A = this chain, B = another copy of it.
Amino acid sequence: MSTPDPAEMASLVSEWRDLLARHAATTCALDRELGERHGLGMSEFEVLERLVESPCEDGTSLRVQELSGMVHLSQSALSRLIGRLEKAGLVERVMCEQDRRGIYVSLSQAGRERYEAARPTHRAVLARILTAGQPA
């Protein structure tokens, strides 16, 4: 049932190590370049991107809870991340009228511009790191 086959297990382990290596390399490059060139962390960019991609193009706002399901962060980490974005003027927190416990995170104009500016850097890093070493 479970996979006691040593060969399978070995390939699984090497797959995992490869995943770790790719993740570390990309995360490191992304954090560095986004950070020093646009003042954004990797997760900050991720959240801005999700907001831009938000279906309601007019408001570009999402519930904190929805964001929480998209980025791989605890709810508390996300709350503080939104706090940082808000302090930087990139998003706004607006109360949700239907459910006054909820908070809409709304992308500001500055937030959109910051995202557009950072996007090429983000894509360039992905292209540079992720395609490295898999020519086939």
Q: Please report A residues at the B interface, Cβ cutoff 8 Å.
A: 2-3, 9, 12-13, 15-16, 19-24, 26, 72, 123-124, 126-127, 130-131
Assuming A20-B23, A23-B19, is B123 touching A13 (CB within 8 A)? yes
Chief secondary structure at chain A's binding surface? helix
| A72 touching B123, Cβ below 8 Å | no
A128 to chain B, nearest CB (A): 9
| A127 touching B3, Cβ below 8 Å | yes
Q: List 22 A-B contacts (CB under 8 A).
A: A2-B124, A2-B127, A3-B127, A9-B126, A12-B123, A12-B126, A12-B127, A12-B130, A12-B131, A13-B126, A15-B130, A16-B26, A16-B126, A16-B130, A19-B19, A19-B22, A19-B26, A19-B130, A20-B72, A23-B23, A23-B72, A24-B72
Enumerate chain B residues within 8 angstroms of A21, measured Cβ to Cβ.
Answer: 72
Enumerate chain B residues within 8 angstroms of A9, measured Cβ to Cβ.
Answer: 123, 126-127
Closest to A26 in B: B16
Enumerate chain B residues within 8 angstroms of A15, measured Cβ to Cβ.
Answer: 130
A126 to B19, CA, bound (A): 12
A41 to chain B, nearest CB (A): 14
